[in-house]
Amino acid sequence: MRANIPVEQAKDFDGLNDELDFLFNNFFQTAHPVMMPIKKGWKPPTDVYETVEEIVIIMDLAGITAHDIKVQLEGSLLIVRGVRREPVPGVKRHYHKMEIDFGLFERKIELPASVDPGKVTSSYQHGFLEIRLPKKQGAGSTRIEIEIG
């Protein structure tokens, strides 16, 4: 048996769903810096894919300047660290919805193949960091800092 819910009540359920999401994100998952231990940070959405020639990492880092991002390659581990700063720190606000994370972030990505550290390239445009890591035969044990171009 299917229940018929009036449109007005259905809209109330949508609002309730948003409020519950906000509650769980803020109190139970500690996804926001106000309630987040400084060491934990947040994890930006990241895509990792592989072609025949290379491994490509694309990371969503909207609102972050390139000089606030550090990228390192340690053997087969790619580490991306940085900080998203609040637009106006210290201003008291009453949030109705809070989904954008601020503060420190770090992603450690185990690469699925050996890469040539001398040929790694990166770019940062329109809030997306793209790192291209050409593959090579053999194990890589080099540690390098990757400049963001």
Query: Total domain count for the chain?
Result: 1
Domain membership of residue 14 (yes or no) is no
pLDDT tens per residue across span 86-105:
888 778 888 888 899 999 99
Residues 104-119 pLDDT 10s? 999 999 999 999 999 9
Residue 31 lies in a domain: no
pLDDT tens, residue by residue, 1-58: 555 656 555 555 556 666 666 556 555 444 444 444 445 689 999 999 999 999 999 9
CATH of the domain at 82: 2.60.40.790
Q: List all residues 6 or more positions away from 18 whose beta carbon is below 8 Å from its beta carbon.
A: 97
Which tokens go with 7? Answer: 């449109």
Q: What pLDDT is stored for residue 43 in this prediction?
A: 95
Distance of CA 125 to the CA centre of its chain: 15
The DSSP code for 112 is S
| Structural domain that includes position 94 | 41-146
Residue 13 resides in a domain = no
> Does 112 fall in a domain?
yes
